[in-house]
Amino acid sequence: MGYDNLRLEKGMYRQAGMSFTQVLESLDPSENYRGTALEGTDAFQRQLKRFGIRAKGAGSSPVEKFFSTSDSAVLFPEYIARTVRQGIEENDILPDIVATTTVIDSLDYRSIYSNAPEDNMSLEDVGEGEEIGITEICTKSNLITLTKRGRMLVASYEALRFQKLDMFGVMLRQIGAYIQKQQLANAVDVIVNGDGNDNAVRQYTIGTEPVSGTKGTLSYDALVDFWGRFDPYNMNVLLCSGPTVNKMLKVPEFQNPMTGMNFQGTGKMVTPLGAKLYRCNALANDQIIGLDSRYALELVRAGDVMVEYDKLIDRQLERAAITSIYGFGKICDDASALLNV
């Protein structure tokens, strides 16, 4: 069956364990288009082509193009979900601070952690007949809290029908940016306060052992002392608010020519310690989170971006919710720490 004669229906959004695009792919596999002009497109993009819907550019289609037939109307919720997801991903730093992502199909999730006595962490040689050190994998005492974030899309079909998809997409990406901002704020809250399993972040203060310097003054020596507290982990990410980023960029060691060339050439801020630096206004001023992104945080998602497909297909845009359900859990508690300037 080719892409141009598939029957589309609402039930394709309700198949357990499969997204709308996955259902389309099962009916119209992309591998069948290798070596053709449609190679590199997915099943949803081929459906847009089938109905002549152009989602981007100056010549983009009006919203009403989706509703030219009952089949093409079924594509509208997926278009909204994809565009919102694009807004989430455009400025998303979660992939750089999350060690692993777990997708679940329920609202309850209990994570695991490793429980190894400190004196067994060195992995010393084991003599004949001696006991091998034990690392026990345990479930956490409390469930990971999942949060629903989103926006209510409020507009009449009459108000949107002639609007170009390129402009409408800007509004949808803005919704995605809002969701991303809230996700990052939740991630920071879990790093600092814990995930409900008595695992709040370790805190250090400049001018108080073991971090040298004068409280209120950010120095390279203080950052080095902070970096040294991560052994055996590697502090490869720093998060701080905009004003604190400005302070850090004014540390003399940041004036190293190679550091400056990297920032000026790529726009990526890298500290002299080798850690990636990200501005995160979810943090209070004069607070810096350091973490080893390989071990610190788990992202838990209950599915992907969700939309009220029934309303959207039936042109009932007056109150259609766009939501994402997610939560965060800490993996290795010592893989993150907080520095108070």
Q: Let me know: does 322 contact 150? Beta carbons within 8 Å.
A: yes
Q: What is the mean pLDDT of residues 262-272?
A: 57
| pLDDT at residue 340 in the model | 96
Nearest to 228 by CA among 212, 244, 240: 212
Tell me how far apart the terminal alpha carbons of the chain are, to the nearest angstrom. Answer: 63
- Beta strands 100-104 and 202-205, pairing class: unpaired
What's the pLDDT band for 43 if we cut at 50, 70, 90? Answer: very high
Tell me the per-residue pLDDT of 183-198, one tens digit each, with 9 for 90 and over.
Answer: 999 999 999 999 988 8
- Distance CA(256)–CA(118), nearest Å, equals 39
What's the pLDDT band for 260 if we cut at 50, 70, 90? Answer: very low
> Model pTM?
0.85
Say whether pLDDT at 339 is over 80.
yes
Q: Let me know: does 262 contact 270? Beta carbons within 8 Å.
A: yes
- Distance CA(197)–CA(288), nearest Å, equals 22
- Give the CB-side neighbour count of residue 198, counting CA atoms within 13 A: 2
- Distance CA(4)–CA(7), nearest Å, equals 9
Q: What is the mean pLDDT of residues 272-289?
A: 89
Q: What is the mean pLDDT of residues 84-93?
A: 92
Min mean pLDDT across 96-110, 201-215, 245-259 is at 245-259
Amino acid residing at 95 = P
Q: Let me know: does 102 contact 300? Beta carbons within 8 Å.
A: yes
Question: What are the two backbone dihedrals, phi and then psi, of residue 48, each rounded to the nearest 5 degrees?
Answer: -60, -40
Q: Let me know: does 332 contact 295? Beta carbons within 8 Å.
A: yes
- CB atoms under 10 Å from CB of 267, counted, come to 7
Tell me the per-residue pLDDT of 117-128, one tens digit each, with 9 for 90 and over.
Answer: 554 455 566 666
Say whether pLDDT at 176 is over 90.
yes
Q: Which residues contact 60 (CB under 8 A, 6 or more apart)?
A: 54, 164, 165, 166, 169
Structure-token match 């920032």, residue found:
263
Which tokens hold the place of 294? 């390989």
**What's the angle, vertex CA 58, arms to CA 52 and CA 63, rounded to 5?**
50
Nearest to 12 by CA among 49, 45, 44: 44
Q: What is the mean pLDDT of residues 202-217?
A: 94
Structure-token match 């040294």, residue found:
228
**What's the angle, vertex CA 54, arms to CA 319 and CA 78, rounded to 5?**
40
Q: Which residues pair with 112 in a beta bridge?
A: 139
Q: Let me know: does 113 contact 293? Beta carbons within 8 Å.
A: no
- Distance CA(157)–CA(64), nearest Å, equals 8
What Rg do the C-alpha atoms of the chain give, in angstroms?
Answer: 25
Q: What percent of the chain has pLDDT over 70?
A: 89
3-state SS class at 331 = coil
Nearest to 108 by CA among 145, 137, 138, 141: 145
